[in-house]
Amino acid sequence: MNSVERDRDRELWDRAVAFHGHSCPGLAIGYKAALYARDLLDLQYSEDEEVVCVTENDACGVDAISVVLGCSVGKGNLLFRLRGKQAFSFFNRKTGKRVRLVMRDIPKQGKTREEVQREMLNTPQDRLFDLKEPSFALPEGARIFTSLICEGCGEKTAENHIRLQEGKTVCLDCFSAYSRFI
């Protein structure tokens, strides 16, 4: 890596820290995953939905992925498939390339948070993550749904979150799920 690339990546780290509010080992995980995915899949910052990240956690690292790769919930290219794992699947819509990065176990015993963070930032990505194939296809692009008025609370709700109950259209908050099994 040349000095220009090093400076660019340092600037990205600083932006991720500013966005997240502080530096921490969790942010470093997402930062290193985003850099690795960028290199593996020839990714650029996603202006729309060119890059998709499916994250298996809702932890600090997700903020770094937003800053480095432009994946966000609002654009519909940052999706949560919560499994409690430090794992991220990345997709390049233009090329069809994809990868799942799974964080390896990093020994932390006897180290401070700052030492763990520094070690992660200085360790090559290929030593931090196992490369795997995502177990699911590239998610479809984001859709815009018609909104309907919930007949329970009167609030506008996207039609994909409406349920039919006793002949009325109701939102998920007003819906009473039925199950004979508890």
What mean pLDDT is predicted for residues 79-96?
Answer: 97
Residue 63 has pLDDT above 80, yes or no: yes
Does residue 114 sit in helix, strand or coil? helix
| CATH (domain of 167) | 3.30.60.20
| DSSP-derived secondary structure for 20-51 | HSS--HHHHHHHHHHHHHHHHHT----SSSSE
Residue 31 has pLDDT above 80, yes or no: yes
- What span, in angstroms and rounded, lies between the C-alpha atoms of 141 and 77? 8
Do both 160 and 104 map to the same domain? no
104-119 pLDDT tens trace: 998 889 999 999 999 9
Do both 56 and 125 map to the same domain? yes
How many CB atoms neighbour CB 82 within 10 A? 9
pLDDT score of 175:
96
Do both 45 and 126 map to the same domain? yes
Task: Give the number of domains in the chain.
Answer: 2
Q: Are 84 and 20 in contact (CB under 8 A)?
A: no
Do both 110 and 151 map to the same domain? no
Query: In angstroms, how far is the first alpha carbon of the chain from the final one?
Result: 57
Do both 124 and 180 map to the same domain? no
Q: Are 85 and 102 in contact (CB under 8 A)?
A: yes
Do both 38 and 59 map to the same domain? yes
127-151 pLDDT tens trace: 999 999 999 999 999 899 999 999 9
Residue 66 domain flag: yes
Do both 101 and 177 map to the same domain? no
Q: Tokens 């609030």 appear where?
A: 155
The residue range of the domain holding 172 is 143-182
32-50 pLDDT tens trace: 999 999 999 999 999 999 9
